[in-house]
Amino acid sequence: MRNVVVTNPPRADLAAVDKLAEFGVATVHEAMGRTGYLGPGLRPTHLGSRIGGTAVTAVCWPGDNLMIHAAVEQCRPGDVLVVTTTSPGTDGAFGELLATSLRARGVRGLVTSGGVRDVAELHEMGFPVWSAAVSAQGTVKATAGAVNVPVTVGGQLIRPGDAVLADDDGVVVVPRQDVDSALAGSQARLDKEAAARDAFRKGELGLDRYGLRAKLAELGVEYVTWQEYSG
Amino acid sequence: MRNVVVTNPPRADLAAVDKLAEFGVATVHEAMGRTGYLGPGLRPTHLGSRIGGTAVTAVCWPGDNLMIHAAVEQCRPGDVLVVTTTSPGTDGAFGELLATSLRARGVRGLVTSGGVRDVAELHEMGFPVWSAAVSAQGTVKATAGAVNVPVTVGGQLIRPGDAVLADDDGVVVVPRQDVDSALAGSQARLDKEAAARDAFRKGELGLDRYGLRAKLAELGVEYVTWQEYSG
Amino acid sequence: MRNVVVTNPPRADLAAVDKLAEFGVATVHEAMGRTGYLGPGLRPTHLGSRIGGTAVTAVCWPGDNLMIHAAVEQCRPGDVLVVTTTSPGTDGAFGELLATSLRARGVRGLVTSGGVRDVAELHEMGFPVWSAAVSAQGTVKATAGAVNVPVTVGGQLIRPGDAVLADDDGVVVVPRQDVDSALAGSQARLDKEAAARDAFRKGELGLDRYGLRAKLAELGVEYVTWQEYSG
Amino acid sequence: MRNVVVTNPPRADLAAVDKLAEFGVATVHEAMGRTGYLGPGLRPTHLGSRIGGTAVTAVCWPGDNLMIHAAVEQCRPGDVLVVTTTSPGTDGAFGELLATSLRARGVRGLVTSGGVRDVAELHEMGFPVWSAAVSAQGTVKATAGAVNVPVTVGGQLIRPGDAVLADDDGVVVVPRQDVDSALAGSQARLDKEAAARDAFRKGELGLDRYGLRAKLAELGVEYVTWQEYSG
Amino acid sequence: MRNVVVTNPPRADLAAVDKLAEFGVATVHEAMGRTGYLGPGLRPTHLGSRIGGTAVTAVCWPGDNLMIHAAVEQCRPGDVLVVTTTSPGTDGAFGELLATSLRARGVRGLVTSGGVRDVAELHEMGFPVWSAAVSAQGTVKATAGAVNVPVTVGGQLIRPGDAVLADDDGVVVVPRQDVDSALAGSQARLDKEAAARDAFRKGELGLDRYGLRAKLAELGVEYVTWQEYSG
Amino acid sequence: MRNVVVTNPPRADLAAVDKLAEFGVATVHEAMGRTGYLGPGLRPTHLGSRIGGTAVTAVCWPGDNLMIHAAVEQCRPGDVLVVTTTSPGTDGAFGELLATSLRARGVRGLVTSGGVRDVAELHEMGFPVWSAAVSAQGTVKATAGAVNVPVTVGGQLIRPGDAVLADDDGVVVVPRQDVDSALAGSQARLDKEAAARDAFRKGELGLDRYGLRAKLAELGVEYVTWQEYSG
């Protein structure tokens, strides 16, 4: 990792990202062929938010939030700040003051593989946060890192300017160049799901709707009565 | 594990299960001699639900929800679907569409050692879920498993038709043949607890109520003043 | 560990502790030079509480809550009960009946490195709890331990009578003799944060307010355009 | 769980178990349709052992080894002692003295979901142990449990008298009534693996040997050159 | 992730990779500015190996090793196979038969974020493995994935053809284009370390050698006697 | 935590510590009433060492080893260096160069709640290490901490000058003022264990030797035959 602050990365089209965010994390993840999910380790501090935006990334040393301060300056309206550390750590590198600064710049939320604090205050001010930990432990501002370089969080590569979507199911990244195809795929999936939902409400089974009875037979799954099984 | 779907297992009496559910998980667990608890790893996606029902079980391959679809068909009103995987996994094998299908069949909730998704939608539709993880990661429908065979979740054996109760304290299983004794034991415990609650409100101590002063003495626990201890 | 119940340890001044609690966990932790935080492993069972009080401590054997009963008697109005175990364990050693007893004695909440149960009932009665686990698993009353001896939770030493503060960010301990300096430090920090908040709202950057541009330069962090970085 | 010591459970035929043990854990697990594995959480304290025997089971309270002492008396030559706790715990409930006692009774090893200690001494005396933890933390003898009841470890049900096999890959249980079929299946698998090993040594590919090229095509996996992929 | 098998990716120069491997993981990681380390979660199944090679990558579904078979065909002498899964899993997707096949193709070892089995046999045949788990649990061959696409393991991006080095400290990746600069940096670091080692052996302190006394003073670290500190 | 380096703390008598170390961690832990064990999270990088010495302590920021360098200077022959971090971290803050420096000062080993690297080299030079992680990830030297202040590792308080013992069972701390009583207690326990070992070898049971049959009866544990249990 070079110790750089990269300025003005190209960003995904914000209007398109906004539309994408409405579909929700799970739908978009599916629409992209089940890719881009940042894993179950990132959770919202409070349930009930759904956001989307363009990524500004920051890489910090564990226990150090210097590069978050450098990242704030690179943020624009519509961005989501994505913070990671060079090795695992849970310290509360982000809190209400930084959120105030981000909000003043039009940033929509924070996603971090580390920790956050002031979560009551963040909730009160309506600034949504997804993190791996809540921790009051403070950090220093002593070590170099990077801003707007590609980062990996939860096994996913996030480039600055990529679309980042988050809700109660977690966080998904959509590469900048894939936003349009994700939009199309998500809409198609939504339509398909709406039809399935109606069918399921009326009692149709997934076994029939998805043709799974043949699959079960092909895999050798047998139907037996309880008496046969237990006897 | 045989790759089977077992049909029509005998179920615990639903009226009895309904009564049992009112006592709550902790009370029933105590009434059964402190057995049957599925452990602290299973948490509700949202606090505030309390359910009970009869178990339909499904064993899936990690990353695969084929057998959940097969299990849906085996569900009846009053059931709780219990899903586990052959090895640990967190993928979101269950979401809002499957919940819609289960609801149409009168199922009361889901308990899984794996992951769930669409948790905002599940909450909105009032379908309660206890799981080890929330994950948007999707699954395939490619590998055989089993439905309505005995499974273990959190170190507890769950047979199809057993009573499964869940609330904010987690999940407890009551073997089908033990529901009546659990009912009697829970009522007795409830009465005992009500009396203790009254006494504690008035200032009586557990030390006195449970005769623990003698126990402490027998174990050699001494009372010393701070001055004696620090001096 | 001696098997003792220590009576009447000196306690921090409750009026001062009450003032300290209003600052919140993160602010007090910072004011004490970033010390005393019990780590991200202790979480409130429900979000939204903020308490402070003087510590009564209990050390239990895993799976055993005998010493909690002994500790209740040592509690006074304004105390917070702090429970730990001799080795890691998640069992629900504390529930609604013990909370009823503590409330009758004026205790403000519970902090435990172990597990709690009856969390719906605890929430309903407004008794706040911070714990490492929620578990319905019951405990016995069979093994000696200690009350009001120094304990460590989350790497922090807690002496009986120390101030213990807890909110949505977790739990912090302030040594009894440091409460006054923590008060002064917290007030100073609050004032400083209020000024920073105002500045950040108006768009000032942390980079400028904290003089971090020089730091970045000193550490060799370079600013490059996206074109330079990618080219 | 009833607080009982069950005497003289029927055991799998020891000669058959001995033959089964030679195949190793992975082969037997496969031969039984990929069932019975106790998971990656149980590890040998030292690499290099391979044992098999008939299970004697013990259920202990966390932090308490009373029931291990009761279990020792129930052991016979050829047994493997399987210890679990009512809730998770890592304390060193088993050490060199208990191993000396077990060895005097002809027991072949220990499998535990908890902790062990004296591991240097256990290695020196050649008594193999598979556990979830190594911990010097001592235990009491104060709480009831059970011996020779069915237990679950790592999600697998183990009944007294079942065959338990362990090596560097972990531990597998073979139900008593399935030992013969496991023997036949393991031998068949061994023969098949020997043929595959020879073929692989000579450069044949699994793709061809197992007919996987068609599978890949059916699943839509495409072959592309690096130039096509990157271009 | 597209479901593709990418053929013939360009590889780092093997002679250069071989030289790099001799420096060891920690030295190369430092020489690259403390980047590329795959984290403490990947451990060798047996201590004592040190290898290097060019990456062939495989992405599998959890519980499925189909794509490992596809990857074998893409391997050449000097490669290291790097396997990951689309979501976390510990199943033993790799064992002695696949190692036999890889060895026949001149592959030097395996690195996986998942599980391996047959570890006694792998050790006996001298095929080194770094993994997150040892598990006898078997896998199916049912789901599509990818070969020779970029993957992330332990937060590091690995592209096919990159240099992968592994020893008792874990695994490090060196991007293909950085192998030469890593070689130069590692040699420089080795020389510097040799000089430091000599100095330390003779009693010189890091405080003096690295000029840290001034740093301590600048950070406000005070030297106090025990009497001053305790008094 | 004050940012101080405390010089010349009083140390436990080294001759007494040396005698104590011979008893091993588990025996000394028991002799002290089952106290002082640093938990199962600290493991030796290689099995087979047994050491004892007097503690020099260091508190570092995560990802930073500046204070280890300051601690080296405070070490004397017979010391064991104990390193912890202000919040959890796994980075390899200690390696072969620091070990060379410690060895030159007569230090016997390292105990750390963090990570170490160069473990092959450390093993080769015979410098024993107990740690929570092995990680090649490097650290900076940028942040203040403390040397020779009381620290907590694994829930145990360690003061500079305390006796620290370590072997394959982990690490135990004996407070400086308790070394003599620990010596006496350990010798008594050793004698008692030798007698028990002889008895167990001859077939006596713990049930009889420790009078546990009465305990089992008192606790209501019943003996039942398999037929009674299963019938």
Interval D80-130: pLDDT, tens:
999 999 999 999 999 999 999 999 999 999 999 999 999 999 999 999 999
**Angle at alpha carbon of residue F169, lines to F165 and F170, rounded to 5°:** 50
CA distance E57 to A133: 31
Nearest to E63 among B62, B135, B137 (CB): B62
Residue F112 confidence (pLDDT) above 80: yes
E211-227 pLDDT per residue, tens: 999 999 999 999 999 99
Q: What is the average pLDDT across F209-228? A: 97
Helical packing angle, F14-23 and F179-201, nearest 10° = 20
CA distances from residue D87 to A23, B27, C118 in whole angstroms, order as listed: 41, 17, 18
**What proportion of chain B, given as a percentage, has pLDDT over 70?**
100
- Residues D182, D31 contacting (CB under 8 angstroms): yes
The predicted structure's pLDDT at residue D225 = 97
- Residues E165, E171 contacting (CB under 8 angstroms): yes
CB neighbours of residue F46 within 10 Å? 16
Q: What confidence tier does A231 reach under pLDDT thresholds 50, 70, 90?
A: confident
Mutate which of C1, C3, C59, C61 to test chain D, going by most D C-beta atoms within 10 A? C61
Q: What are the backbone dihedrals phi and psi of residue E6, each rounded to the nearest 5 degrees, phi first?
A: -90, 130
- Residues F20, F27 contacting (CB under 8 angstroms): no
CB within 8 Å: D137 and F40: yes
B95-152 pLDDT per residue, tens: 999 999 999 999 999 999 999 999 999 999 999 999 999 999 999 999 999 999 999 9
CA distances from residue F52 to A127, F81, F87, F173 in whole angstroms, order as listed: 52, 11, 26, 10
Q: Are strands A4-7 and D110-116 parallel, antiparallel or unpaired?
A: unpaired
CA distance E71 to A92: 41
CB within 8 Å: E155 and A39: no
Q: What is the average pLDDT across A197-210? A: 97
Reference C140, options A166, B185, D143; nearest CA is D143
In which residue are the tokens 């430090």 written?
C185
D122-144 pLDDT per residue, tens: 999 999 999 999 999 999 999 99
Q: What residues of E are in contact with residue A172 (Cβ under 8 Å)?
A: none
* pLDDT, chain C, mean: 97
Chains touching B by CB (3 or more pairs below 8 Å): A, C, D, E
* pLDDT, chain B, mean: 97
Residue F151 confidence (pLDDT) above 80: yes
Q: What confidence tier does A229 reach under pLDDT thresholds 50, 70, 90?
A: very high
E154-193 pLDDT per residue, tens: 999 999 999 999 999 999 999 999 999 999 999 999 999 9
How many H helices and E strands in chain B?
Answer: 9, 13
Q: What confidence tier does B231 reach under pLDDT thresholds 50, 70, 90?
A: confident
CB within 8 Å: E118 and D48: no
Please report, as a single letter, which amino acid is at residue B58. Answer: A
* pLDDT, chain D, mean: 97
Q: What is the DSSP string of A131-182?
A: EEEE-----B-----EESS-EEETTEEE-TT-EEEEETTEEEEE-GGGHHHH
Reference D72, options D47, D107, D119, D43; nearest CA is D107
Ranges of residues in chain E whose predicted pLDDT is under 50? none
The predicted structure's pLDDT at residue C103 = 98
* pLDDT, chain E, mean: 97
Closest approach of chain A CAs to the CA of F8, in angstroms? 29
Chains F and B lie in contact, requiring 3 or more CB pairs less than 8 Å apart: no
Reference F169, options E175, D119, B91, A96; nearest CA is D119
CA distance A83 to A64: 11
B44-69 pLDDT per residue, tens: 999 999 999 999 999 999 999 999 99
CA distance A205 to A189: 18
Chains D and C lie in contact, requiring 3 or more CB pairs less than 8 Å apart: yes
CB within 8 Å: D88 and C89: yes
The predicted structure's pLDDT at residue E3 = 95
Q: What is the average pLDDT across C36-57? A: 98
**What proportion of chain D, given as a percentage, has pLDDT over 70?**
100
Q: What is the average pLDDT across A138-143? A: 96
A78-130 pLDDT per residue, tens: 999 999 999 999 999 999 999 999 999 999 999 999 999 999 999 999 999 99
The predicted structure's pLDDT at residue A99 = 98
Q: What is the average pLDDT across D17-38? A: 97
Closest approach of chain A CAs to the CA of E136, in angstroms? 23
CA distance B187 to B182: 8
Residue D1 confidence (pLDDT) above 80: no
Residue B139: CB partners within 8 Å, gap ≥ 6?
B60, B63, B64, B65, B91, B92, B93
Under DSSP, is residue D160 helix (H, G, I), strand (E, B) or coil? coil
Nearest to F143 among A87, A88, A142 (CB): A142
**What proportion of chain F, given as a percentage, has pLDDT over 90?**
99
| Sign, Cα dihedral of D188, D193, D199, D205 | positive
Q: What confidence tier does C231 reach under pLDDT thresholds 50, 70, 90?
A: confident
**What proportion of chain A, given as a percentage, has pLDDT over 90?**
99
The predicted structure's pLDDT at residue E231 = 80
Please report, as a single letter, which amino acid is at residue F77. Answer: P
Please report, as a single letter, which amino acid is at residue A88. Answer: P
Reference F183, options F18, F37, F54; nearest CA is F18
CB neighbours of residue D144 within 10 Å? 25
**What proportion of chain A, given as a percentage, has pLDDT over 70?**
100
Q: What residues of D are in contact with residue E90 (Cβ under 8 Å)?
A: 39-40
The predicted structure's pLDDT at residue F89 = 93
Nearest to E63 among B61, B90, B137 (CB): B61
The predicted structure's pLDDT at residue D86 = 95
Residue C1 confidence (pLDDT) above 80: no
Residue E191: CB partners within 8 Å, gap ≥ 6?
none
Residues of D with CB under 8 A from a CB of C: 61-64, 86-91, 135, 137, 140, 142-143
CA distance F229 to B9: 24
Q: What is the average pLDDT across C160-171? A: 98
The predicted structure's pLDDT at residue A139 = 97
Closest approach of chain C CAs to the CA of F143, in angstroms? 13
CA distances from residue F225 to C228, D72, F231 in whole angstroms, order as listed: 80, 16, 10
Chains touching D by CB (3 or more pairs below 8 Å): B, C, E, F
Q: What confidence tier does D231 reach under pLDDT thresholds 50, 70, 90?
A: confident
Q: What residues of C are in contact with residue A119 (Cβ under 8 Å)?
A: 47, 168-169
Under DSSP, is residue C27 helix (H, G, I), strand (E, B) or coil? helix
In which residue are the tokens 């028991």 written?
F30
F40-95 pLDDT per residue, tens: 999 999 999 999 999 999 999 999 999 999 999 999 999 999 999 999 999 999 99
